């Protein structure tokens, strides 16, 4: 048993069919969804970050690590279109609490404050070797507005909320030492920041969930190919994405050349962009664009269509190829 997917499948084996009036969605989406108060639902999510696996203090400033640790968890609330409310933080340190912990907490709580989210508990323990940060976030959303992964329909347009591949490029630049040079504030800054300090799309998520236009939504944490495959599996559909529609940042191509990497690998398999991925009816396109322009003020990008045929396909000119289930798996690696 080696892959994360297999591990989850083993866990699911022990989860009895949960037929309780207070449970709306258990395992299988960005958050669990529980009934709360009338039409108001409780959202529940947890994520664990391990030093050397999910982050590296050699280049990650503690303040920004704190911000990222909060943002990647809030992103799961954004993915359901919810409002984050409270947070639990568990930290496991080898030996004593490190001197940079104040900077970490300062960054962590800065993101919570930006989204009116309260730190209400947690746990601090000693580990043997690893530094592990585990965060649980609760949120709220109206039952009729919460966006699940499972609502995509054939013919839907597929949208992403921003550029893809930036975080993967930023990670590559950090690994190559570029983030410690003067270039940090130079042409790579935008890419490196996407890795060090990603943004949870809470505001856009709420605009989208309350718009009524969205059929299915999730955040892109494991890479477009893997995450779109999840969304398609949950919705029992397939997807065709158009390569020339994928939104790419300036300098992404330069960074790929610099690092001898492939832009398309970063975009499809990179992960950690924490952009929203969602589908809407094609006929709602203009209304959606107008709404997002008015209420959000930033562009969103249509990258393809939901199709009946199972699988995720990348179209480029006349070519159409199936993209394997090839995103990041936490146990197998790529």
**Within 95-134, which residues bind a copy of itself (CB under 8 A)?**
96-97, 99, 101-102, 105-106, 108-109, 113, 118-130, 132, 134
Q: Which of residues 301-330 bind a copy of itself (CB under 8 A)?
A: 330
55 three-class SS: strand
From the CB of 166, what's the least distance to a copy of itself, in Å? 23
Closest CA to 97 of 133, 121, 68, 73: 133
Q: Please say which residue, 147 or 157, places its beta carbon nearer to a copy of itself.
A: 147
* Interaction of residue 299 with a copy of itself, rule CB under 8 A: no
Binding segment toward a copy of itself, per CB under 8 A, in 48-56, 149-157, 177-185, 225-233: 48-56
The tokens describing 90, both together, are 């568990």
Strand order in the sheet with 238-242: 214-219, 276-280, 157-160, 301-307, 238-242, 311-316, 319-322
Count of Cβ atoms closer than 10 Å to residue 99 Cβ: 8
Binding mask 50-89 for a copy of itself (x = CB under 8 A): xxxxx------------------------------xx-xx
* Interaction of residue 39 with a copy of itself, rule CB under 8 A: no
Question: Cβ(231)–Cβ(278) under 8 Å?
Answer: no
Q: Please say which residue, 39 or 262, places its beta carbon nearer to a copy of itself.
A: 39
- Extended strands (E) in the chain: 23-25, 32-37, 40-50, 83-94, 118-127, 132-142, 157-160, 214-219, 238-242, 276-280, 301-307, 311-316, 319-322
The tokens describing 280, both together, are 């809407």
* Interaction of residue 175 with a copy of itself, rule CB under 8 A: no
Q: Please say which residue, 30 or 273, places its beta carbon nearer to a copy of itself.
A: 30
From the CB of 39, what's the least distance to a copy of itself, in Å? 11
Q: Please say which residue, 31 or 214, places its beta carbon nearer to a copy of itself.
A: 31
From the CB of 244, what's the least distance to a copy of itself, in Å? 35
Q: How far is CA 287 from CA 163, 210, 290, in A?
A: 22, 13, 5
The tokens describing 303, both together, are 């990258």
From the CB of 219, what's the least distance to a copy of itself, in Å? 14
């Amino acid at each position: 048993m080696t892959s994360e997917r297999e591990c989850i499948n083993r866990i699911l084996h022990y989860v009895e069919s949960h037929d309780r009036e207070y449970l709306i969605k258990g395992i299988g989406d960005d958050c669990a969804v529980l009934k709360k108060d009338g039409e108001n639902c409780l959202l529940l999510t947890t994520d664990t970050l391990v030093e050397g696996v999910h982050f590296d203090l050699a280049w990650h400033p503690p303040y920004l690590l704190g911000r990222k640790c909060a943002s990647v968890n809030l992103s799961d609330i954004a993915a359901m279109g919810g409002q984050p409310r409270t947070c639990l933080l568990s930290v496991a340190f080898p030996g004593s609490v490190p001197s940079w912990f104040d900077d970490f907490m300062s960054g962590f709580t800065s993101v919570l404050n930006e989204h009116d989210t309260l730190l209400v508990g947690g746990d601090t323990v000693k580990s043997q070797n690893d530094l592990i940060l585990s965060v649980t976030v609760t949120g709220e959303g109206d039952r009729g507005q919460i966006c699940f992964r499972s609502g995509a329909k054939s013919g839907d347009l597929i949208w992403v909320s921003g550029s893809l591949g930036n975080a993967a490029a930023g990670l590559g630049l950090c690994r190559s030492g570029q983030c410690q040079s003067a270039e940090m504030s130079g042409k790579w800054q935008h890419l490196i920041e996407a890795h060090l300090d990603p943004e949870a799309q809470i505001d856009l998520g709420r605009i989208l969930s309350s718009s009524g236009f969205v059929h299915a939504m999730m955040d892109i944490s494991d890479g477009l190919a893997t995450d779109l495959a999840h969304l398609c599996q949950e919705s029992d559909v397939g997807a065709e994405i158009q390569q020339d529609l994928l939104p790419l940042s300036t300098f992404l191509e330069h960074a790929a050349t610099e690092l001898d990497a492939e832009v398309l690998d970063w975009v499809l398999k990179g992960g950690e962009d924490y952009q929203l991925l969602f589908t809407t009816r094609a006929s709602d396109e203009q209304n959606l664009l107008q709404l997002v322009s008015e209420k959000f003020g930033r562009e969103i990008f249509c990258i393809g269509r939901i199709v009946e045929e199972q699988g995720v396909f990348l179209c480029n000119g006349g070519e159409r190829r199936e993209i394997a289930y090839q995103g990041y798996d936490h146990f197998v690696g790529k």
